[in-house]
Structure 1
Amino acid sequence: MNTQFSVSPENKPIFIALGFTLVIILIGTGYTLITQGAAPMLMPSYLAQQLQIGAFLGVCAAGMMMVILLGHIDLSIPWTLTAAAMMATTVGGPWAIPAGLAVGLIVGLFNGLGVSVLRIPSMIFTLGVDTALRGLMVAHTGGFAPQTEATPLMRFLAADRVLGIPVALFVWAGVSIAIAGLLSRTGFGKAVYATGAKESAAFLSGIRTKWVIVGAFMISSLCAATAGILLAGYSAKAYQGMGNPYLLPAIAAVVLGGTHILGGRGRYIGTLIGVILIVVLNSVLSIMQMPEAVRQIIYGTVIIGMLLVYGRETTSRN
């Protein structure tokens, strides 16, 4: 009997994340049955609503995975998301969404050049970019809440439903198909894995590693901008700090899905399951009325634990 698929290092975290997801669903269902006499987590309408909210995180995590596969990280996600949403609602009309996406492409290009050409550590450079974006947006709004509104198309993409299914899920599915196809069926995807595994070896083999890094950061920021446009549509407006709750969960979803934090290994299906795990965990914590501080502690603990596991694994292989 061939058990290679089930025991391979790349697939094991995926099964573990899937198992944890099912356990969390059972815990949440048991809790609501005892306290409320009902099981809302098993109702299709409730699950669709939770996945609709989770679509924003899912799009962010898809882009974050591209960067983590290279062994880098993008800490500019929160204000890239916010800046894209603010610019989209400010421009309005048919150019709203292109304006928001353009913000993501520009930020991603800047991040990629800073990391690949200037060789500044991604954690430091993207954190600086995030801070600069925050300052620009505060200057743009004068420190007050923006008075702009989302366009009808933005509201349709984020809040409406087609055949009972939230349109945001279709957007998330489209992004997922694009990222999964890019990683598994294109030369760029193979270059991402090779660069993440060993950048110097990839460069010597003829891969233009600098542009691979630039491309990955542009995809990351573009996904963040897309999430910002969707979130502004869901909220009917943009607001300062709207991207702050998405950074740590996006990283957690990617790591929980089995993508190696040091780069070179990971599958998009794992990130997808990681996002669902985070969404289900959020739902159960909300049902149990856990405060936000406890949620952040849980996210941080999970990431630290996975980092320790990956660190020990890398050390043992070396």
Structure 2
Amino acid sequence: MVVESGQSRLTPVLLEQLRRNEITWNGLVKLGVIEYLDAEEEESAYVALKEADITPDHTHLEIDPVSIFGVTVSVLPFPEYNSSPRITMACAMAKQSLGTYTVNFNMRNESRAHILYYPQQPLAQTKPYKLLGFAERAAGQNFVVAITSSYGYNIGDAVVMNKNAINRGLGRSVFYKTHEAEERRYPGGQKDKFEIPPATTSGYREEKSYRFLSEDGVISPECEVESKDVLVGKTSPPRFLEEITVFGVTEEKKRENSLVLKSGEGGVVDSVLLSDSLDGT
């Protein structure tokens, strides 16, 4: 809020109009009561935390003392009892915490997404945490931790996990990853094709890799796949219009160009979506 001559521009009259919904936030901005400051402007601003602290030298007044921090810091409990490096670390941890980032995640196709099975509210909550409604979209879980030695296994920040807790779903999450394939068009009228590659295709993989593909060359939902399994069967035209075979005969031989799961990956196919691109492919 803007301060002029040691007085806040937010007068009792405007406060009463706010309570009656006769004026909005945008209206206060247009009247010059509320002002947005960028990082450069903050360098030359003298901001008071409370109205009682305003002096003729002050230029601005915080809407609420807690808003001087960002969203991440304001949801951390007891920051005044922690050292600044620990608060910085806690901010990084809070931004990486897993939860339910959106309720329609099963209808979306994100490049990468993590969903925590059983998110919980923290035991210690700040006022901004409640005001922002984070409890409705909780992130993280409450772990019971015992600080004790266990035959040296906890050396170097290691932890000993309870197997029963893991089996009951402690920290369990699911990772979604979107794989994409496209039928491209090439000069000369040639194009890719989604299909189960014939055995005569150049670069043909073992038959086991194509076991989950439907007739159209696309995998079906709910298939449990592992590394090197084909998700989308695709053949592409040869790099050269005519290729000479071992018998000296020229022919156009298709290349195997399927979408394959990388080594070390595995999971279950959640959904399959087919669509047209902007160029009609």
* TM bracket, shorter-chain basis: under 0.3
Report the structure, 1 or 2, having the larger helix content: 1
Whose radius of gyration is greater, 1 or 2? 2
Q: Greater relative contact order: 1 or 2 (C-alpha under 8 angstroms, separation 6 or more)? A: 1
Report the structure, 1 or 2, having the larger strand content: 2
